Chains A and B, each alone.
Chain A
Amino acid sequence: MNKAKKRHPLVDAKKPNLLEDTYPYSLPPLIRFEGPVVENIDGKAVEFDFGAVKDRNILISDTTFRDGQQARPPYTIDQMVHIYDLLSRLSGPNGVIRQTEFFLYTKNDRETLDKCRSLGHKYPECTGWIRAIKGDFRLVKEAGLKETGMLTSCSDYHIFQKLKFRSRAECMDSYCEVVEAAFEAGVRPRCHLEDLTRADIDGFVLPFVERLMEMSSQVPEELTAKIRLCDTMGFGISYPGAELPRSIPKLIYKLNQECGVPSDRLEWHGHNDFHKVHTNGGTAWLYGCDVVNTTLFGFGERTGNPPLESAIFEYIALKGGLCEIDTMVITELADYMRSIGLPIPDNYPFVGRSFNTTRAGIHADGLRRDEQIYNIFDTEKLLARPPRVAITDKSGTDGVVHWINEFFGLKGEERINKIKIHKIARWVIDQYDEHGRLTAISDQELEAKVKELMPDYWAKYKAS
C-alpha cells in the first residue's frame, strides 16, 4: 500500500450537502472548471481557460439531413420539413442550433430545401454540401444559398489513394481553385478537412489552411472560408498529451492560434467508431472551436456522429442555464423519429424508452423516497419523462409502490405506502416464483391488476 501523503479528516454534518451548485436538478448537472488547463505543444506549455466557454459564442450545427441520411434510407420531403421545423423550435430564439446542411444533387434535395426555407425560420440556417468540384457551384447558386460545405480531404489516404492526385501540391491547387470559384460566386466556402485525424498536419493541413486564410483576406468577411475539422474515422483523442494528428487540443490550437482561423470559423465534425464522439465534440468546444456538428440521436455514417440532443445538454451544462432552448422538443423529436421507423435503443440516453427507468428494487426504494437519488435531473420538467420503474422479480415492493404512485400521479402526502399495495406485490412475486415467468411485466398488465386488486384507489383516482 502507498504511504498516505495527506490527511483528510471527516467533515461531520447533520444536514446533507447535496452539492446543488453543481446539481441544481432543474438543469442538467453543470460543468464547472477550476484554473487553466495546460497542453504541451511543440515543447511549450500552453494554457487553455475552459471557464471562458461560458462567455464564448459556442454553437451547435446539424447534419441530420446529410451525414444522418447516409446511415439510413432517405427521408421523405415531408419528414425532413417536419424535422427541420422541430429543430428550429428546439434551437430557440438564440439559434443555438445555428445551421443545418442539405444535399443539393436531386430534385427532391432541392424541393426539401425550398420547403424548409419557406417555413421562414431564422434558425437553423440552411447550408449546402457539395463535392470540391467547380461545376457543383451551379447547384449552390441556383439554390440561392450563402454557404456550402465542400469536401477538401486532407489525409494521404484520400489525396493519393482515393482522389488519385499525383502530388499534394496538385491536390491543394485543385481545392483552392474551387474555393476561388466559391468566392467568385459569392458563396461562403466551408472546407471540410476530411480524414484530418489521419493527415500530415505540418506537411499538408497547416499549409493548406494558411493558404485558405490568405485567400480569405482578399474577400469580404461574410465570404471568408470556414474550416470543418472532420474526424472521419473517429480517431480523434481528447486526452492532454496525445500526439498529432489525433490530438483534438493540438489540432484546434494549430488552426486557431498558428494559422489564425478565428474560433467562429472552426467546426468539429466527429464520428463514433471508438465511442468517443460526444466527449470529443465537447473537447473541441473547450479548446477553442466554436461549433460542434451533430446529428439527431447520433445517426450518421457507420457508428454515427455527435448526438445533437447530447450536445444540447452539454451546452446547457457549460453555459449554466437553458438559454431559451426548448428541451421538451427532444422528446417530441424522438417520438416522431420512432414513428417513422428510426430505431432508438431503449437504454439510449435522454430519449430511450428506459433511459430513466430502474429495474432494481433498491433503486426503486431510493426513487420512492426522493427521485433525485436515482434520476439524473428533473427529466419530467426538461423532457416530459418522469423517472420510472420497470417491474420484474428484482423490483421488490419498492418498485411496485413507485410504479403505482406514478400511475395514479400521487405526490407528497398522497403517495400510497407499501402496505397498501401488498396484493399487487404478491401477484408480481408469484408471477416469477409460482409461474416461472422470465419477462418484465408490462404497464398494461399492472394496470389491469391495480384495477382488480385496488378497486378503492381505482375508483378514487381513475374512474372519472
Chain B
Amino acid sequence: MATVEERVKAVTAQVLKIDSDQIKLEDNFTADLGAESVQSIELVAMFEEEFGIEMDEDAALSVETVGTAVDFIAKVCKEQGVDV
C-alpha cells in the first residue's frame, strides 16, 4: 500500500499537472509548485477524497509545504480513525 507521502505527491501531481517525481517534501505549494488560489482549494478537496477525511478549512489552507501536508493529513487521519 502506498505511503501518505506517496499519495500526497500523487494527488498534488494530478491537481497541479506536474510529474510526481519532481515533487520534494520541502516544496512550497504556491512558490515552488505554482498552485493558484483555486488549485489550493482543489488540493484540499482531493486530499479529503483520497484519504476519506474532513479537514478544517482554515487549518488545511494554511499548510504551505508538501512535507507539512503529509504530517497534517497523517494527524487528521489518526484523529478521525482512518488507517493509512
Q: Which residues of A contact B (CB under 8 A)?
A: 361, 396-397, 417-422, 425-426, 429
Contact = CB atoms under 8 A, between A and B. Distances in A.
B38 A397 contact: yes
A361 B37 CA distance: 11
A419 B45 contact: yes
Given A419-B45, A419-B48, A422-B45, A429 B57 contact: no
A396 B61 CA distance: 15
B60 interface: yes
Contacts of B73: none
Contacts of B61: 418
Contacts of A429: 38
A421 B45 CA distance: 9
The number of chain B residues touching the other chain, given as a range, is 10 to 19
Contacts of A421: 41
10 nearest A-B pairs in the assembled complex, by CB-CB distance:
A417-B57, A422-B45, A422-B41, A425-B38, A422-B42, A419-B45, A419-B44, A429-B38, A418-B41, A397-B41
A419 B37 contact: no
Interface string B24-65: 000000000000011001101100100000010100110000
Contacts of B60: 419
Nearest to A428: B38
A426 B36 CA distance: 11
Contacts, number: 28
Given A417-B57, A419-B55, A419-B60, A426 B44 contact: no
A179 to B, nearest CB: 70
Interface of B: 37-38, 41-42, 44-45, 48, 55, 57, 60-61
Given A396-B37, A397-B37, A426 B57 contact: no
A192 B27 CA distance: 75
Nearest to B58: A417
A369 to B, nearest CB: 10
Contacts of B44: 419, 422
**In this complex, which of A361, A417, A419, A429 has the most chain B Cβ atoms within 10 angstroms of its Cβ?**
A419
A396 B38 CA distance: 8
Nearest to A425: B38
B72 to A, nearest CB: 14
A417 B55 CA distance: 11
Contacts of B57: 417-419
Contacts of A420: 45
B1 to A, nearest CB: 25
A361 B60 CA distance: 20
A422 B57 CA distance: 12
Given A418-B57, A419-B55, A426 B48 contact: no
Nearest to A398: B37
Contacts of B37: 361, 396-397
Contacts of B55: 419
Contacts of A417: 57
A396 B44 CA distance: 16
Contacts of B42: 422, 426
A120 B61 CA distance: 62
Contacts of A419: 41, 44-45, 48, 55, 57, 60
